[in-house]
Amino acid sequence: MIKAVRGTKDILPAESCVWQEIEKTSRDNLKLFGYQEIRTPVIEETALFVKNIGEETDIVSKEMFSFVDRGERNISLRPEGTASIIRSYIENNLDKISQFQKLYYIGPFFRAERPQAGRLRQFHQIGVEAIGSLHPALDAEVIALSAKLLDSAGIKGYKLKLNNLGCRDDKKKLSKMLKDIFSDKKGEHLCEDCKRRIKMNPLRVLDCKNDGCREVVRKTFKEASFICAECKTHFEEVLKFIGMLNIKHEIDPYIVRGLDYYTRTVFEITHEGLGSKDAIGAGGRYDNLSLDMGGPDVGACGFALGIDRMTMVLGRGKESSTVDIFIANIGDAAYEKAFGILNDLRNNEISCEIDYEKRSLKAQMRAADSMGAKFVLIIGEDEIVKGEAALRDMKTKEQILIKFNDMVSKIKEKVR
């Protein structure tokens, strides 16, 4: 038997109702904050990610699903959202439509990581990109929105950590400083990954999850002292606005995010229910990305939340009630009548289901119960003769008779 590909999973009905709920409340909130949905392809040219996420990042160097297609093009499954959105923003001249764009997406992403709890090769994100402003209030608003989406989904106990990476020049200084610190003896205590990182992508040493590295890093590096005055002021302003919005947060100088394009504000949201791979979401500012990609020189800020992880924290759902009415029927004539009523009710926005298997009334009542039907409409041979059916309230066990010719209006009253 062929099974699902390693690192992928089926989202079954008992769980998909939780997903739908998260997606629905998120869409409602995103609308409230002025965001519009954008849907970009799951495949892009590999170069888009290599150039913009960064060649030396973990994502690009070891986690992308890349292939050469039949036309000899280098294609990759998207490992994250921001590069694709900015590509689309530039390609479709969205800045000409409105200087400021607030875009959101919900969909699957792909990374070839070693599969483990909470780490899937096909994972799902809700993300936003607010493009067209350098204002620190935007950072605060974006961070507030990420918290709002988690709150609305019913997620409690998450932690929001912020850091200021500074502009590109500041990041260069930080990289050089880390390189200097860890190129000597101190570097010997770092893990193999970090020994490589210190040469190619030193910032990532700061957020290594390896216990040994964490200890060494925390002993030697306290905070980025070289951040320029402008970036410092920007971050102070961000904190001021965040304070106004009353968002619980902490400053963590070891948050760097694994993507090259981030500048200034970066943030990470963690939840202890997720173990050591505990990020439930992350984001930040990326003020050079649009210009680097050949677009307008605009500041931008965004985040993504992992839907798979949100559902992990929430725990497994329960199949929600699927129908208002279950139509139990006995005999061929009753089935035909019931089939007609089924159609009438559905045309009137009343969800209903019928028994297809000619089972006993008892078996049909059991089926209605397990389906979570609110009412059962019972039609047998007697009812056909009298031109009526019995409607049973599954909660109160009350039963009333309804004439066939005012079936829809009577049921509508009851269901409402």
Is the Cβ of residue 95 or residue 292 nearer to Zn ion in the bound state? Answer: 292
Give the separation between CA 136 and CA 284, rounded to whole angstroms.
11
**Shortest separation between residue 263's beta carbon and Zn ion, angstroms:** 8
Q: Quick check: 166 binds Zn ion (CB under 5 A)?
A: yes
Rg (CA), the chain: 28
Q: Quick check: 136 binds Zn ion (CB under 5 A)?
A: no
Torsion angle in degrees (nearest 10) through CA of 188, 189, 190, 195: 10
**Shortest separation between residue 280's beta carbon and Zn ion, angstroms:** 22
Give the separation between CA 122 and CA 246, rounded to whole angstroms.
35
Is the Cβ of residue 254 or residue 335 nearer to Zn ion in the bound state? Answer: 254
* Residues pairing with 129 in the sheet: 103, 302
Q: Which amino acid does the sequence have at 276? A: S
- Return phi, psi of residue 178, to 5°: -65, -40
What is the footprint of Zn ion within residues 1-60 (CB under 5 A)? none
The region of 101-109, 227-235, 239-247, 345-353 touching Zn ion under the rule CB under 5 A is 227-235
DSSP state of 63: I
**Shortest separation between residue 171's beta carbon and Zn ion, angstroms:** 8
Residue 193 is inside which H or E element, if any?
helix 192-200
Q: Which of 90, 131, 150, 194 binds Zn ion (CB under 5 A)?
A: 194
Going 38 to 39 to 45 to 50, the CA torsion angle's sign is: positive
What is the footprint of Zn ion within residues 380-409 (CB under 5 A)? none
Would you tell me the crossing angle of helices 168-183 and 192-200 to the nearest 10 degrees? 130
Determine contact, residues 289/301, Cβ cutoff 8 Å: no
What is the footprint of Zn ion within residues 203-222 (CB under 5 A)? 208, 210, 213
**Shortest separation between residue 204's beta carbon and Zn ion, angstroms:** 8
x-marked contacts with Zn ion along 231-260 as a string, rule CB under 5 A: x-----------------------------
Size of residue set near Zn ion by CB under 5 A: 10
Residue 166: closest CA among 219, 116, 117, 235: 235
Is the Cβ of residue 113 or residue 344 nearer to Zn ion in the bound state? Answer: 113
**Shortest separation between residue 61's beta carbon and Zn ion, angstroms:** 15
Residue 402 is inside which H or E element, if any?
strand 399-403
Is the Cβ of residue 87 or residue 204 nearer to Zn ion in the bound state? Answer: 204
Is the Cβ of residue 138 or residue 231 nearer to Zn ion in the bound state? Answer: 231
Is the Cβ of residue 193 or residue 319 nearer to Zn ion in the bound state? Answer: 193
x-marked contacts with Zn ion along 71-110 as a string, rule CB under 5 A: ----------------------------------------
**Shortest separation between residue 294's beta carbon and Zn ion, angstroms:** 23
In the sheet where 263-271 sits, what is the strand order? 36-37, 101-110, 122-131, 300-306, 279-285, 263-271, 158-164, 250-251
**Shortest separation between residue 70's beta carbon and Zn ion, angstroms:** 40
Determine contact, residues 130/301, Cβ cutoff 8 Å: yes
- Return phi, psi of residue 131, to 5°: -115, 125
Is the Cβ of residue 92 or residue 183 nearer to Zn ion in the bound state? Answer: 183
Q: Quick check: 228 binds Zn ion (CB under 5 A)?
A: yes
Q: Quick one: 195 exposed, middle or buried, by C-beta within 10 A (0-12, 13-18, 19+)? A: middle
Task: Please tell me the total number of residues recorded for the chain in this structure.
Answer: 416
**Shortest separation between residue 226's beta carbon and Zn ion, angstroms:** 9
Is the Cβ of residue 27 or residue 168 nearer to Zn ion in the bound state? Answer: 168
Determine the 3-state secondary structure of 130 from DSSP.
Answer: strand
Q: Which of 191, 293, 312, 333 binds Zn ion (CB under 5 A)?
A: 191
Is the Cβ of residue 268 or residue 308 nearer to Zn ion in the bound state? Answer: 268
Is the Cβ of residue 192 or residue 357 nearer to Zn ion in the bound state? Answer: 192
**Shortest separation between residue 51's beta carbon and Zn ion, angstroms:** 23
Residues forming contacts to Zn ion in the complex (CB under 5 A) are: 166-167, 170, 191, 194, 208, 210, 213, 228, 231
